[in-house]
Amino acid sequence: MNTSTPSSTQEPSSTQAPCAVSARSLSKVFGSGSNAFKALDNVSVDIRENEFFTLLGPSGCGKTTLLRLIAGFEQPTSGEVLLDGEDLSAKPPYQRPVNTVFQNYALFPHMTVAENISFGLEMLGRPKDQIKSVTANMLRLVQLEAMADRRITQISGGQQQRVALARALAPQPKVLLLDEPLSALDLQLRKEMQLELKRLQTDTGITFVFVTHDQDEALTMSDRIAVMNGGKILQIGTPREIYDKPQHRFVAGFIGEINLVPVEAMGAHDYAIAGVGSLRSDEASVVPKGDHAVLAIRPERIALSAPGPGKLPGVVTNVVYHGTDTIFHIRLADGLELRARSQNNTARIQSFAKGDQIGWTVDAASVSVLADDPS
């Protein structure tokens, strides 16, 4: 990795709040011999206290494996998991002060809602009156007081989701692990639960480690996001950093829509698009002058206007109307096309049509520079 990009997998742990969970050079290989599959490849990450931390990536990227290693359901092939600085390796799941919200909830079908929620406290041997009051508090927290004595099979999916959450929160774990807990819900309910989860995290002050493949979910809820692919963490940052300053082609492409424009570095901040013109970026170049690089530009950051001086030329090849916004497909040169998103702030008819010659500009702050390798 180039020295000018901060090493994303090796963040210093001294920043801000102390660490709740740390992974140190964690690897996990499933199977052996020719069937061996490296689910997690030398991952190190520090998750801070009281943080809503999201592991984001496509299926098979290793995010769930990392979560299961923290919970203790899997043993790492190498590396270690630290909780409050203490090595967890020797501890079985039932001795780790960590609770999980499972993807399909894994609620006990032979128990009532209240029995599910109090299970963890009972196993911890808490006094009866404490179990009772904490369970009542949890039922109130997830607004299921009326359902306390219902069976799990008698409540809806959204309610089951909240029971799973209450069950995992009741023992007041140091860290709450959430494995795609919203994926089984419909869109409307998912949006509500996103806000509710965030509220619960703020209210309880518990560290949340949230696994998802849904970029919207990650951007909406997280304090920080780790984007994973192929068993590695590619980049860790706030939702803003991840969206605005992607450091990998994969990160750029996975989160939202983005234009990737091949360029040649002309100086520290200037880049030439062959046959079109040049662009400026606030970011220092990741490659020496004369080498190839790739610019990553979000469609909504491209400003369209009539052709003129100081603007780059292009031809509109397609206009796609989306209600709140319109997407313009713009051909720059042979084989090079951009997409620009323009907000429909007024009901005025858009001034550009298919075949129009236009001019476009991008603010230098909105241009990210990536190395020209396929990762």
Partner 1 sequence: MTRAGKNILFRALLIGPALLAITVFMIIPLGLMAYISFRGRDYSGGVLWDQFTAEAYVRLFFESELDGTLALNFNYMYIILRSVWLSFLTMVISLAVGLPVAMFMATRDAKWKAVLVFMVTLPFWTNLLVRNYAWILLLRDHGIINSALLWLGIISEPLPLLHNSFAVAVGLTYSFLPFMVLPIYASLEKIDLRLVEASFDLYANRWQTIKRVILPLAFPGIVAGCVLVFVPALGAYITPELLGGGKTLMIGNLIGFQFGAARNWPFGAALGMFLLALVLTSLWLYARRYRGDLERLQ
Binding footprint of partner 1 on the chain (CB under 8 A): 71-73, 92-95, 98-100, 102, 104, 106-110, 119-120, 123-124, 151, 167-168, 171
Distance CA 269, CA 274 (A): 16
Pair of tokens at residue 360: 């476009």
C-beta of residue 208 within 8 angstroms of C-beta of residue 192: no
Of the pair 184, 327, the CB lying nearest partner 1 is at 184
Pair of tokens at residue 366: 């909105």
User: Cβ 56 to partner 1, closest distance in Å?
Assistant: 23
User: Cβ 119 to partner 1, closest distance in Å?
Assistant: 5
Of the pair 151, 269, the CB lying nearest partner 1 is at 151
Of the pair 38, 151, the CB lying nearest partner 1 is at 151
User: Cβ 67 to partner 1, closest distance in Å?
Assistant: 11
User: Cβ 183 to partner 1, closest distance in Å?
Assistant: 15
Q: What are phi and psi of 228, to 5 degrees?
A: -115, 150
Of the pair 95, 318, the CB lying nearest partner 1 is at 95
Output the DSSP codes for 72-108.
TSS--SEEEEEETTEE-TT--GGGSSEEEE-TT----
Of the pair 62, 173, the CB lying nearest partner 1 is at 173
User: Cβ 106 to partner 1, closest distance in Å?
Assistant: 4
Which pairing describes strands 357-362 and 367-371: parallel, antiparallel, or unpaired? Answer: unpaired
Of the pair 176, 295, the CB lying nearest partner 1 is at 176
Helix axes 128-141, 113-123, angle to 10 degrees: 130
Of the pair 70, 279, the CB lying nearest partner 1 is at 70
Strand, helix or coil at 173? coil
Distance CA 330, CA 340 (A): 7
User: Cβ 153 to partner 1, closest distance in Å?
Assistant: 8
Of the pair 130, 318, the CB lying nearest partner 1 is at 130
At position 45, the amino acid (one-letter code) is V
Strand, helix or coil at 64? helix
User: Cβ 228 to partner 1, closest distance in Å?
Assistant: 22
Of the pair 106, 364, the CB lying nearest partner 1 is at 106
335: Cβ contacts below 8 Å, ≥ 6 apart: none
C-beta of residue 37 within 8 angstroms of C-beta of residue 85: no
Helix or strand run (H / E) with residue 18 = none
Of the pair 176, 255, the CB lying nearest partner 1 is at 176
Give Dmax over CA atoms of the chain in angstroms.
77
User: Cβ 68 to partner 1, closest distance in Å?
Assistant: 9
Distance CA 176, CA 100 (A): 6
280-312 b/e (C-beta count within 10 Å ≥ 16 → b): ebebebbbeeeeebbbbbbbbbbebeeeeeebb
Distance CA 57, CA 121 (A): 33
Distance CA 194, CA 217 (A): 7
Distance CA 200, CA 226 (A): 21
